[in-house]
Chains A and B, each alone.
Chain A
Amino acid sequence: MFAADTSRALELTSGWFLENAWLAGLLPVIGFALIIGLGKRMPMKGAEIGLASMAATLVVTVGAAIQWMQRVNSAEGPGEEATGLVQAFGRSLPRAAEGGEAEPFIAPVVKTWVWWQNSGLEFGIGSSIDGLAALLLALVAFITLLVQIFSLDYIRNDRRYTHFFASITLFSGGMLIMLMAENMVQLILGWEIMGLTSFMLIGHWWEEEANSRAALKAFFTVRVGDVGLLVGTAIIFFGANQWAVDNLDSNGFNISAIQAWALSGEADTQFLLWGAVALFIAAIGKSGQFPLHTWLPDAMAGPTPVSSLLHSSTMVVAGVFLVARIYPVFWEGFNIGTGGLSFIAIIGAITIVIAALLAFVQDDIKKVLAYSTVSQLGYMMLGLGTGAWLPAVFHIFTHAFFKCALFLCAGSISHSGSHHSFDMKKDMGGLRKKMPVTFAAWIVSTLALTGVFPFAGFWSKDEIIDNVGNNGYTFLMWVALGGAALTAMYMTRATYLTFFGEPRGAAAGEHHQHDTDVEAEEHELEEATVGAPEPRSLGAAAATHGGGGSAGGDHDDHGDHGDHGDHGPHESGPLLLVPIVILAFLAVVAGFANPTPLASRFGEGVELIKTYVEPRAEAVVVDDFLASGPGDSLILVDVPAAAPAAEAEGDGAAKTGCGFTSPEAGTVCFFPAVSHAEPKFAKILLSLGIVAAGYAVAIAFCVAYYGRRDKRLVGLTERNKALRGGFLFLKNKYYLDALYENVIVRAVAHPIAKAAYWINQHVLDATVDGVGVGARRTGQWVYDNIDQKVVDGAVNGSGFAASEAGHAMQSTQSGKVSQYGALLFGAAAVAAIVLVIVNVS
């Protein structure tokens, strides 16, 4: 069972950052506590603690990522110490397909402490760093730091500035904890922290009921999914635990053990299937897939930094991360490897389309971006569901940059351009001249989002589409291509409405009647506190403000608005722009981290993500059972010649290896051998062409409809019933919200509530009342019978007996001397007789 002579124990390098990556989870939590405790007293109101903790976390995570890359490089051969991107970029690694040595599985670096043990199970908390974790840890820390810098200016003078930073910091702590989790319990911990902070942050301005409702909706919708998380974890635990104990000296919560169990071939398919279904339901909830996507657009009620951090780049990818992390379970449970249509892929595809369609009818720019996020998450799920693991993870990476940049641009626009309004139709337009930097970043990010060469989205999204087609899902590939076209179209619409055309509303310098936008309300409150002459209501805003800039007295109170010197749109300050520019820059270059189409020319070394992040699908022997408990990294023994994973290049190659066949006795697999499509020029052209066509159509439409107000198009939906029906259907979000709230919730919750109330009144209260009445009656009976009759009877009886005895004895005390004499002599006689008898006998 153990290693034969031909194998060698893998000696992989580790490093301080890898060993202590748990600091990345701990530092933000400490930062959170410090901000809560000390934030209000600090000069920057706690923001400095948040920034400092995120910066330190970034150092730890980047260091861990670098050391991980060194670790991977150290497995290639003795003496090769490749560090940094440059050397890895230039070197071409021998791969199995090219006849080189089969690459060994790189064991994650684990460092945990046991925090609870129960009936033989040990629960650890700490870090387990492999490629996926290293990549996402650094990503989350980086994005959080940028968003915090953005927030310094954006959230200035907010009524709960300190708590905002505390929540943001705690969120990143929660996500990092989840990312580095070594077992499902810690993953659930991080997941729940994220849900909590999401709730806190969406409802940051909870004084408006719409915001608190949105926060509750987000929380509860994700909660529906979380049921799946717990159920799935339990199912997987019961399936995997025995196998893990027997083979790996681990338990059914350990993620590595779960991966190995799923691929071992000894796993019960029912456990795998239902565990996968349940866990995917959790991913649906968290990542906003159909049908639990309804919370994400409403979550835009939170401040823009929250939307850019949580609901675009980091938190919503937690579901995708979950699937990617425990991929073997889904691979086996849904039979992804055999080309069948998997549940994940279907949901992903549906999500892509419906979210893209909904983005067309949104007036709120953040909602457009929100639906865009949902759609892109659909792409990631589609990729995972069809076996395209690497492109999906790469898409997480690139999507984070350009989506976050887009949201921050939206924030910049509202902060400096449209006077805190997000309504594109009413308060934006023509902003490209006034806000050039924002405009440039927006354009770059949009191009990245739609997948235009050479921006980031092209490399990742097209890889997904390519692999989907390559793995045999032709229909889904056309769906994804259609989605790419739709993406181009709605983003064009949004861009046109925002940056082109004539300035409207606030973008024109007017202070419109603000609609229910919350930041408008925020603005009203700020004005009121600064000492505006009379109290304002929303409706009165138009009356008092009417006409741009005329009432000079009112507008002089905007001292604290700093940049509002002339009340027109203008570019934002540096604190807002620097993160945007950084992210836009990354949106340009991030794609080159894994430019698969270039691999054929430059060698596979250019595919950094593939090299360092994708786990190797090699069967390995786990050495030294005792070392593979919580707290220690697995020590693997390389099995070079035993079962080389056949990387199926191209279509139709014979599939063997991890994920397709059971590993040999004594070895375990941790990752299935996913196939990688070789990009073909023709396919690339096809996708680029479709995107270009989408752009063309959209630009033409926007210019015609919004620009020239072409008579054929204006009012089309009012004239044409079919189009109007479709428009209303989209506007009402497919009536899903109505279905959920009015039908499902009411049908389920109200009867349950009524039943619960009935039980409470008639069962619980009746029980309590009954107990009370019974107790009183018992007490009464006891009093009447026992206390009065028995106890008192005894007491009285004893008294009676004593008095009667006394009365009886009274006759001896007659006072008569003769009687006393008789008694005396009689008693003396008796005593004497007794004495005589005693002494004589």
Chain B
Amino acid sequence: MSAVILAAEGVNVAQNVAFGIIAAFMIFAALSVVSSKNVVHAALWLVIVLAGVAAQYILAAAEFVAVSQVLVYIGAVMVLFLFGIMLTRAQIGKEFGLNNSAWPLGIPVAVVLFGLLAWVILDAYEDDVLPDPGGPTPTEALSDQFLSIYLVPFLALSFVLLAAAIGAIVLARKD
């Protein structure tokens, strides 16, 4: 793991350091999400996580996606979450009993999963160096993909969004 942080050949030290700091924040925030006793705090911690994810995207030269992430996730989804919390009369402040009875079961599952994933990843990609992106990814490249190869999924996506919007409205109607 020291290779992750230490400056090695071909490794951009500054990138690594930035990545590490942001990653630490993210992990801490994620842990707080799942262990916070205050629902609103949990939501806010989630905002931190999402922001951190966006920052990582920038590091990975996916600026468009980062911006979309911020706009959509933090701007819309989190607002939605907060509305949801509000509408469902969650206790403001500390509340107890946020964990259900099965929570001890979750730890081993999560640990096993992580262990498995980590092993697989390390086994497959150890010492693989990400290439230097050489600048931000042009949005044209994305749009080229969207509108040629992935056109059908793109249009389908629009339908999905439409259906989701209508569905949400229908479901949440008072009458």
Name A residues whose Cβ lies closer than 8 Å to a Cβ of B: 816, 818-819, 822, 825-826, 828-829, 832-833, 836, 840
Contacts and interface: CB of A to CB of B under 8 A. Distances in A.
B105 A836 contact: no
Contacts of A836: 116, 119-120
B2 interface: no
Given A822-B109, A825-B109, A832 B116 contact: yes
A816 B102 contact: yes
B121 to A, nearest CB: 12
A822 B116 contact: no
Contacts of B123: 840
A832 B106 CA distance: 17
A725 B100 CA distance: 132
A829 B109 contact: yes
A819 B106 CA distance: 9
Contacts of B106: 818, 822
Contacts of B119: 836
Nearest to A836: B120
Given A833-B116, A836-B120, A818 B109 contact: no
A826 B100 contact: no
Given A826-B105, A836-B116, 10 more contacts: A816-B100, A818-B102, A819-B102, A822-B102, A822-B106, A825-B113, A826-B112, A829-B109, A829-B112, A833-B112
A710 B116 CA distance: 151
24 contacts: A816-B100, A818-B100, A818-B102, A818-B106, A819-B102, A819-B105, A822-B102, A822-B105, A822-B106, A825-B113, A826-B105, A826-B109, A826-B112, A828-B113, A829-B112, A829-B113, A829-B116, A832-B116, A832-B120, A833-B112, A833-B116, A836-B116, A836-B120, A840-B123
9 closest residue pairs by CB, A with B: A826-B109, A829-B113, A829-B112, A822-B105, A818-B100, A825-B109, A819-B102, A818-B102, A832-B116
A829 to B, nearest CB: 5
A818 B112 CA distance: 17
A821 to B, nearest CB: 9
B72 to A, nearest CB: 25
Most chain A CB atoms below 10 A, which of B100, B109, B113, B116 = B109
Interface residues of B, number: 11
Most chain B CB atoms below 10 A, which of A816, A822, A829, A840 = A829
Interface string B48-64: 00000000000000000
Question: Is the contact region of chain B dominated by helix, strand, or loop, or is it mixed?
Answer: helix
Interface in B98-127: 100, 102, 105-106, 109, 112-113, 116, 119-120, 123
A835 to B, nearest CB: 10
A701 B100 CA distance: 146
Contacts of B120: 832, 836
A728 to B, nearest CB: 125
Nearest to B120: A836
Contacts of B113: 825, 828-829
Contacts of B109: 822, 825-826, 829
A368 B25 CA distance: 150
A836 B121 CA distance: 12
Nearest to A827: B109
Contacts of A816: 100, 102
B35 to A, nearest CB: 15
A809 B133 CA distance: 53
Contacts of B100: 816, 818
A840 B123 CA distance: 10
Most chain B CB atoms below 10 A, which of A816, A826, A836, A840 = A826
Contacts of A819: 102, 105
Contacts of A826: 105, 109, 112
Contacts of A840: 123
A794 B120 CA distance: 49
Nearest to B103: A818
Contacts of B102: 816, 818-819, 822
B28 to A, nearest CB: 23
A819 B101 CA distance: 9
Nearest to A840: B123
Nearest to B105: A822
Nearest to B99: A818
A235 to B, nearest CB: 101
A829 B111 CA distance: 10
Nearest to A819: B102
Interface in B15-70: none
Nearest to A814: B102
Nearest to A817: B100
A103 B64 CA distance: 148
Nearest to A822: B105
A816 to B, nearest CB: 7
B105 to A, nearest CB: 5
A832 B118 CA distance: 12
Contacts of A829: 109, 112-113, 116
A833 B115 CA distance: 10
A838 to B, nearest CB: 13
Contacts of B105: 819, 822, 826
Most chain B CB atoms below 10 A, which of A818, A819, A840 = A818
B110 to A, nearest CB: 8
Contacts of B116: 829, 832-833, 836
A829 B113 CA distance: 6
Contacts of A822: 102, 105-106, 109
A818 B105 CA distance: 10
Nearest to B123: A840
A76 B11 CA distance: 148
B4 to A, nearest CB: 23
Contacts of B112: 826, 829, 833
A409 B105 CA distance: 129
Most chain B CB atoms below 10 A, which of A819, A822, A836, A840 = A822
Contacts of A833: 112, 116
A840 B119 CA distance: 12
A828 B106 CA distance: 14
A96 to B, nearest CB: 129
Nearest to B100: A818
Nearest to B106: A822
B83 to A, nearest CB: 22
A832 B105 CA distance: 19
B80 to A, nearest CB: 20
Nearest to A828: B113
A832 B123 CA distance: 14
A816 B99 CA distance: 13
Contacts of A825: 109, 113
Interface string B89-102: 00000000000101
B34 to A, nearest CB: 12
A723 to B, nearest CB: 134
A272 to B, nearest CB: 109
A819 B103 CA distance: 9
B97 to A, nearest CB: 13
B18 to A, nearest CB: 31
B11 to A, nearest CB: 28
Interface in B106-158: 106, 109, 112-113, 116, 119-120, 123
